[in-house]
Amino acid sequence: LWQGEVKIKRAQAEEFEIFAPAPGEKAEIFFGDTITTSEGASAVFNMTDGSIIEVGPNSEVEFVYENDKMIVYLKKGYADVTIGSENFIFRCPRHEIVGPGGRVRLYAPDPNTLTAFGIEDGAVITNEYGLITYLGQGQRIDSTFIEETQTFEVAVHEYCEMDLKIEARGEGRLVEPGSVFTVDRDLNIEIVMIAEEEPEGEEESILDLPPVPEEASDEPFENTGIGRVFLQCNLSDSHS
């Protein structure tokens, strides 16, 4: 019995339909298919290369194949991602997560914004200008594309315990927690806000910071009782 809604739209279809494979059944997912989740629902995709994609509530992902690589594209919403091989890319608005290695939680509320929280060391995030961010465990960035200036503004959250490593044009640098920097199309980086000394008092916790859904722990998205789907995906390039 499946509750809540996980839907699929096949590559050649015009409308979404309910997607609920029987327990233990291998899901038929094809390149070009799109999955959506409703409020409270989630879907876990165990890819054949070892990658694991957990899609959170109110989210949409598309499965595509480009340049001999499997790509899952988060169009909106939440995803918890582990990259299993160099042949797999997780794409989100204006960014890509590559591997192998690392585990990261992502939130994309709109086409210009991405929040990324490192659950395990090793996640590598590249924006469309080519800025590379090495996200470690416990680090979080908010990356926003500013259309008026055609620049990215990246905030490094202050609760991180170590500097954020970034790389542009082959040159690496470290950015302090609590800082904000911009990067333009030519990969010029400008620090627009430098971290200040932390005030005395109780330290703010990742658990208290939106927009990470529920708790930003190392556990998968909580099953709220609405239902979830666990899938072993065999991707193909056709529906025949």
| Cα R_g (the chain), whole angstroms | 18
What mean pLDDT, rounded, does the chain reach? Answer: 80
pLDDT of residue 216: 36
Do residues 59 and 76 lie in contact, with contact meaning Cβ atoms separated by under 8 Å?
yes
pLDDT of residue 66: 87
Residue 60's DSSP bridge partners are: 36, 76
For range 176-192, the mean pLDDT: 95
Judged against a pLDDT cut of 60, whether residue 44 lies above it is answered with yes
Q: What does DSSP assign to residue 199?
A: P
Judged against a pLDDT cut of 80, whether residue 195 lies above it is answered with no
Nearest to 65 by CA among 43, 88, 86, 85: 88
> Element (H or E) spanning 109, and its range?
strand 103-110
Judged against a pLDDT cut of 70, whether residue 128 lies above it is answered with yes
Residue written as tokens 């708790």?
215
Do residues 69 and 89 lie in contact, with contact meaning Cβ atoms separated by under 8 Å?
yes
Q: In this predicted model, what pLDDT tens digit does every residue of 205-234 receive, in sequence order?
A: 433 333 333 433 344 433 333 333 444 444
CA 185 to chain CA centroid, Å, is 22
